Structure 1
Amino acid sequence: MATLIHTLADHSDDINYCAFSSSCLATCSLDKTVRVYSLNSFTELPYSPLKGHTYAVHCCCFSPSGHVLASCSTDGTTAVWDAGDGRRLAVLEQPGGSPVRVCRFSPGAAYLVSGAADGTVALWNARSLKLHRSGNVKDGSLVACAFSPNGNFFVTGSSCGDLTIWDDKMRCLHNEKAHDLGVTCCDISSQPISDGEHGFRSFQMASCGQDNQIKLWLLLVADFSGVELKHKCTLGGHSAPVLACAFSYDGQLLVSGSVDKSVIIYEMSTGNALQTLTQHTRYVTTCAFAPYSPLLATGSMDKTVNIWQFDLKQPCAGTTAEDEPQAAVEAWSEDDVSAWLRAQDLADLVGLFKTNNIDGKELLNLTKESLTNELKIESLGLRSKVLQKIEDLRMKMASASAAVPEEFLCPITRELMKDPVIAADGYSYEKEAMESWISTNRRSSPMTNLPLPSLLLTPNRTLKMAIGRWLEARPKHD
């Protein structure tokens, strides 16, 4: 399901964290630096590495827009950088000056949270970069943080094992003993799950800890009674402390990394482990899914970051139901249609569609008349929105058959190759892209990161002919 496509080995010490924006990957390390890479080619941006921290960098995160990057360090500061040119915009000093272990932007980019070894939680105004409020966990170091998708509250995890829920006024809404030997990481799925009973809105959260466990929780949010944290289940699989966990953008997958050197990918609908990745040679300290592409990054104390790509034919990170081919959509169950409605911000129609037994085949056949007369949707605007979403789905399905075969795409540019060449690593690349790669003094393979035994590039005429035949066979309107 996940295939290793690239290894980054630029840091000179343990990798502590990695984070994606829509176009970049940031990594940070004990070597005091933050490195930023383009997702198009996994090449390092011109301004990278970012230097300025005087001790180890523990965490980094992008703002929702991807325009700003934050990093925090043992030096007691959180640095804020311009992700476009690498300029340092501000240095935020933690109240008390304690080593900062974690930082997170809120979904609306209004706030930036930083948590420190002395238990302090600082909530910064992300626009003015001034301290908004601060607080303290009861015991232990603050090592983990995650915002709810609506940004109304955030959760912190501490080395004493507590999960604490805060609102934007730094009021403690809930506290829970979660992991006996200490929390190491937590994450909240960006996709809300169906409304619970009694008017609750539900979010799914994962936490992991020194007790070798991954726990799944339901965050139940009520308008008047606050937030309730309910333990759902515990996932097994790791034989040592679990240091990292993260949800895929669509909430369908959860990934974890452990002291046992393994990475496990879980399917959230069943809780089953789908795949175990064992390529790292030391503790896995961090893992992250890309938001809009089928990529996973895992970092380790072996000083490397591995980039994994998911098979687009399988349900995976960053994909939703509408990305599947037409045959799959026609086979959708009513639950699949419900998931699609939620992904389109049409959750209010889930009950109506279920009552009328709308499955994938029925969905594709819906018309203005059936929405009006059979489903009784009175709002013209809502009917138009549904029809537009269905039309978008049909167009995506119609173009699925014309998708470019993976082997025709250059691994560096991810674009259709015009002049493919074979490099000494055995892979084919677009000639201009590979020449540019080599000209920037990169003597390693873009795919394996191993040294190239030769810089000779051989034209791949067979592949070029195959691409030409494929182009000729495509429908003329493409």
Structure 2
Amino acid sequence: MVSLICTLQHHTDDVNWCALSRNLLATCSTDKTVRIFSIFDFSELPFSPLIGHGYGVHCCCFSACGQYLASCSTDGCTIIWSMGTGERVAVFAHPGRCPVRVCTFSSDSAYLLSGGSDGTFSLWDFRSRALLRTGSVNEATVGACSFSPCGQMFVTGTSYGDVRGEVVRVRLASCGQDSQLKIWSISRLAAAGCRMQLLHTLTGQSGPVLSCAFSPDGQQLISGYVTACAFAPTTSLIATGSMDKTVNVWRVGDGLHAGGDEGEAVPGRKLQQQGPGHSRRPVSEWSEGDVSAWLQGEGLGALVRPFSDNNIDGAELLNLTKDSLTTELNIDSVGLRNKLMRKIDGLKTASAWSNDPDEFLCPITREVMSDPVIAADGYSYEREAIQSWINSKNRSSPMTNLPLQTTMLTPNRTLKMAIGRWKSSQ
């Protein structure tokens, strides 16, 4: 039996991945942010959202101990974040700086593996931050990768439908656009390398299977038409992410679950990004009371008094800087100033995306297009962004992951004129 615990509605664009540690839930999105929540009450941590990627974030994963989180993006980088402070610990640049679609830690966190949209993978020594090995699978996007539990082997999956092992016997699950979920056995042979044997083909789903995941003990498997799904390592929790911008948290059976003093959560509870009264209004139109309510909701209640004394409304909030926090509001704590500025940056980003019509945004950069062109997949992109995508040896669609039949780009003059009219009206 599976029951819905809560729905998180913090992201402003597609949720691409979710990951669970012993006490945290991480989610990432095309909105360029990574958000961190406590699994005990599903409150967002003070240092969340994590802002550092230039483009959409495709994947995130915790190290075994939960001390670090890795996230990768179209910007060609995998960022390592500290889960104690929210600060960036390291940045791994994928060779060629092609978009990085997926990343994962080995079971002992000794290695980090990342896969690119040009069919390449990179294996890093996490402790020394050294690049150990790179390889090319084919010209298709690497959309999945995983280490074996022993850490002696890793597997990659591509948009061509290939599943390949890289150096013992383990079970592997794969899914795809063919609506099938397949279970494989992988054995390492002394002389002949690896052998993959298809054990089962599950055909119970009526549409494409976009994600799948084993439970920590390997006894359960989830799959679905959602962009992300994950089991918690020590509790009976599942998190799923979707293109509707939400993250759902589910409880399986009668196991341990999160929320409240006794671990009890309210089924169907929905957690909003902002408190009542201002969640549907632009930040620039917030009143002083709205700002105070937002501060309380973000765990920054200590700042309510100085903000009220200085008549800080929404417009003033967006104009604050670290210098003004120090000199005008007399906030001496460096940590408090940094937390507040991260929250304000998140508001600015969310405000920008919420005001821009989605059809005017490039799917790659998530910014309003100035020179839109139509690619072979039928989608419109900013010319420079899609040309850079293609020039980095990508032969698959950024939207569908299917091969592009041609690299020819056609100017979308109708869309360009519509964007021009919209800009003139702003």
- For normalisation by structure 1, the TM-score amounts to 0.54
Does the 8 Å contact 1:217/1:229 carry over to 2?
yes
Query: Is 1:441 aligned to residue 289 of structure 2?
Result: no
- For residues 85 and 439 of structure 1, the distance between their equivalents in structure 2, rounded to whole angstroms, comes to 19
- For residues 238 and 303 of structure 1, the distance between their equivalents in structure 2, rounded to whole angstroms, comes to 22
- For residues 242 and 4 of structure 2, the distance between their equivalents in structure 1, rounded to whole angstroms, comes to 15
SS in 1 for 2:5: strand
Mapping of 1:65-80 within 5 angstroms?
A: 65-80=65-80
Among residues 253, 260, 263, which one is paired with 1:412 in the alignment?
260
Give the number of aligned pairs: 273
Q: Paired residue for 2:107?
A: 107
Q: Paired residue for 1:228?
A: 195
Mapping of 1:160-171 within 5 angstroms?
A: 160-167=160-167
Deviation at 1:10, TM superposition (A): 0.4
Does the 8 Å contact 2:39/2:259 carry over to 1?
no
Structure 1 runs of 4+ aligned residues shifted over 6 Å read none
Write the deviation string for residues 377-432 of structure 1: whole angstroms up to 9, x where unpaired.
Answer: xxxxxxxxxxxxxxxxxxxxxxxxxxxxx9xxx94233599xxxx9xx8xxxxxxx
Deviation at 1:152, TM superposition (A): 0.2
- For residues 79 and 166 of structure 1, the distance between their equivalents in structure 2, rounded to whole angstroms, comes to 24
Q: Paired residue for 1:98?
A: 98
Query: Is 1:306 aligned to residue 162 of structure 2?
Result: no
- For residues 83 and 416 of structure 1, the distance between their equivalents in structure 2, rounded to whole angstroms, comes to 24
Q: Paired residue for 2:84?
A: 84
One-letter amino acid of the counterpart of residue 297, structure 2: N
Mapping of 1:308-457 within 5 angstroms?
A: 308-312=250-254, 411-414=259-262, 440-441=296-297
- For residues 438 and 34 of structure 1, the distance between their equivalents in structure 2, rounded to whole angstroms, comes to 20
One-letter amino acid of the counterpart of residue 123, structure 1: L
Does the 8 Å contact 1:124/1:133 carry over to 2?
yes
Q: Paired residue for 2:60?
A: 60
Write the deviation string for residues 44-81 of structure 1: whole angstroms up to 9, x where unpaired.
Answer: 11111000101000000001111110000001110011
Write the deviation string for residues 93-136 of structure 1: whole angstroms up to 9, x where unpaired.
Answer: 11011000000001121110111001111111101222111111
Does the 8 Å contact 1:139/1:158 carry over to 2?
no
Write the deviation string for residues 271-329 of structure 1: whole angstroms up to 9, x where unpaired.
Answer: xxxxxxxxxxxxx111001010010001100111100012227xxxx9xxxxxxxxxxx
Unpaired runs of 5+ in structure 2? 270-292, 299-426
Among residues 174, 177, 181, which one is paired with 1:210 in the alignment?
177
- For residues 173 and 263 of structure 2, the distance between their equivalents in structure 1, rounded to whole angstroms, comes to 36
Write the deviation string for residues 348-401 of structure 1: whole angstroms up to 9, x where unpaired.
Answer: xxxxxxxxxxxxxxxxxxxxxxxxxxxxxxxxxxxxxxxxxxxxxxxxxxxxxx
- For residues 23 and 185 of structure 2, the distance between their equivalents in structure 1, rounded to whole angstroms, comes to 31
**RMSD (Å) for aligned C-alpha atoms:** 2.3
- For residues 195 and 216 of structure 2, the distance between their equivalents in structure 1, rounded to whole angstroms, comes to 23
- For residues 78 and 263 of structure 2, the distance between their equivalents in structure 1, rounded to whole angstroms, comes to 37
Write the deviation string for residues 160-186 of structure 1: whole angstroms up to 9, x where unpaired.
Answer: 11111114xxxxxxxxxxxxxxxxxxx
Structure with bigger gyration radius: 1
SS in 2 for 1:242: coil
Query: Is 1:18 aligned to residue 18 of structure 2?
Result: yes
SS in 2 for 1:53: coil
Does the 8 Å contact 1:142/1:158 carry over to 2?
yes
Bigger relative contact order, structure 1 or 2, given CA contacts below 8 A and separation 6+?
A: 2
- For residues 39 and 25 of structure 2, the distance between their equivalents in structure 1, rounded to whole angstroms, comes to 7
- For residues 44 and 411 of structure 1, the distance between their equivalents in structure 2, rounded to whole angstroms, comes to 13
SS in 2 for 1:96: helix
Q: Paired residue for 2:232?
A: 290
Does the 8 Å contact 1:42/1:412 carry over to 2?
no
Deviation at 1:84, TM superposition (A): 1.2
One-letter amino acid of the counterpart of residue 178, structure 2: D
- For normalisation by structure 2, the TM-score amounts to 0.61
Does the 8 Å contact 2:42/2:259 carry over to 1?
no
Mapping of 1:188-199 within 5 angstroms?
A: none
- For residues 68 and 101 of structure 1, the distance between their equivalents in structure 2, rounded to whole angstroms, comes to 19
One-letter amino acid of the counterpart of residue 412, structure 1: G
- For residues 29 and 415 of structure 1, the distance between their equivalents in structure 2, rounded to whole angstroms, comes to 28
Q: Paired residue for 1:137?
A: 137
Does the 8 Å contact 2:40/2:263 carry over to 1?
no
Q: Paired residue for 2:282?
A: none
The 1:40/1:118 distance shift into structure 2, 3 A limit, reads same
- For residues 415 and 69 of structure 1, the distance between their equivalents in structure 2, rounded to whole angstroms, comes to 24
Does the 8 Å contact 1:213/1:234 carry over to 2?
yes
Does the 8 Å contact 1:40/1:414 carry over to 2?
no
